[in-house]
Amino acid sequence: MPYYKLPAQSLSEWFATPQGSYVLAREQSYFDRTVSAIFGYNALQMALPEHDFLRCNRMPLRLTAGHQAGNAVRLCCTELPFASGSLDLVLMPHVLEFAEHLHQILREAERVLMPEGSLIISAFNPRSLWGLHRALGCRKGYPWNGHFINLPRLKDWLALLGFEVVGGRFAAYAPPFAQAKWLERYAFMEAAGDRWWAVSGGVYFLHAIKRVPGMRLIKPQWNDRLVSKLLPVTPKLNNKILQRNEVDTQ
């Protein structure tokens, strides 16, 4: 029996199956297109070191981090060993569905991102044929043993942390068939899904920006006559002040 007939024991193992390859191709396409337009110095991909979702990004420092072997940095996702405001881009490919403390992971991502930094998330959509497949009781192995997060709920969490969602999309509209021939046969649903049932893709992506309220400089109303007496000014500037005073007195 081929190994992919057994429940996958990791997300990377599932991505090697025909079903997972179908999803992986669409995720790689989205990440390649999105990260190529994001600039900065430091980018971090959390988990899945076997797949380089940052390959089209041009930042000088690109790292993979997670508890799995193969990551450039071994860490716990709830306690990132990076300085606050030090990263320009954080990628989370299916990190939240399989995390025990997903709110803490999002808080850590907000902490390490610099103002106007980007957070990109991919997750399985519970309101889809893939979510229905899981709801009907198929929860053995990856990705079915994960916690599929509703998109509106995730948006609310991001808003509470000060993120603004600026982009995203859905993908993987075909039913979650296990065989490649059936996935290819239903490939027409990809284009039809984008047009007719856009919110029902098996996977969704979110691109959010960390917004930090800025300070507004309030300038005082200077008394030009008092300033001209207290500070030495050039003749040119003195003439401007005198002309302004004449206008005020008329």
Report the C-alpha gap between 17 and 183 in whole angstroms. 12
**What per-residue confidence (pLDDT) applies to 5?**
60
pLDDT beyond 70 at 194: yes
Three-class DSSP category at 154: helix
**What per-residue confidence (pLDDT) applies to 186?**
85
**What per-residue confidence (pLDDT) applies to 138?**
75
Predicted TM-score (pTM) of this structure? 0.81
Per-residue pLDDT, averaged over 187-193, amounts to 79
pLDDT category, 229, cuts 50, 70, 90? low
Considering the domain 3-210 in this protein, what is its CATH number? 3.40.50.150
Give the strands of the sheet with 113-124, arranged side by side.
73-74, 61-66, 42-46, 87-93, 113-124, 203-210, 163-171
Distance set, CA 17 to CA 25, 35, 130, 190 (Å):
12, 26, 16, 19
Three-class DSSP category at 100: coil
Residues 6+ apart with CB under 8 A from 143: 8, 11, 14, 94, 97, 124
Percent helix / strand / coil, the chain, rounded to 5: 40, 20, 40
**What per-residue confidence (pLDDT) applies to 205?**
97
pLDDT category, 15, cuts 50, 70, 90? very high
Per cent of the chain over pLDDT 70 is: 83
Exposed / middle / buried, residue 105 (Cβ in 10 Å: 0-12, 13-18, 19+): buried
Min mean pLDDT across 41-50, 56-65, 187-196 is at 187-196
**What per-residue confidence (pLDDT) applies to 8?**
78
| Mean residue pLDDT across the chain | 86
Per-residue pLDDT, averaged over 200-216, amounts to 88
**Contact assessment for residue 73 and residue 127, using Cβ atoms and an 8 Å cutoff:** no
The residue with greater pLDDT, 126 or 139, is: 126
Distance set, CA 181 to CA 5, 24, 143, 174, 204 (Å):
15, 17, 21, 12, 24
Per-residue pLDDT, averaged over 45-53, amounts to 95
What confidence tens digit (pLDDT) does each residue in 140-185 have? 889 999 999 999 999 999 999 999 999 999 999 999 998 988 888 8
pLDDT category, 27, cuts 50, 70, 90? very high
Distance set, CA 105 to CA 66, 94, 100 (Å):
12, 12, 9
**What per-residue confidence (pLDDT) applies to 1?**
36
Per-residue pLDDT, averaged over 185-200, amounts to 80
Domain ranges across the chain: 3-210, 219-250
Report the C-alpha gap between 81 and 103 in whole angstroms. 17
**What per-residue confidence (pLDDT) applies to 231?**
54
Nearest in space to 111 (alpha carbons), one of 79, 136, 71, 133: 79
Tokens 């396409």 correspond to what residue? 29
pLDDT category, 2, cuts 50, 70, 90? very low
Per-residue pLDDT, averaged over 181-195, amounts to 82
Per-residue pLDDT, averaged over 112-117, amounts to 96
**Contact assessment for residue 87 and residue 113, using Cβ atoms and an 8 Å cutoff:** yes
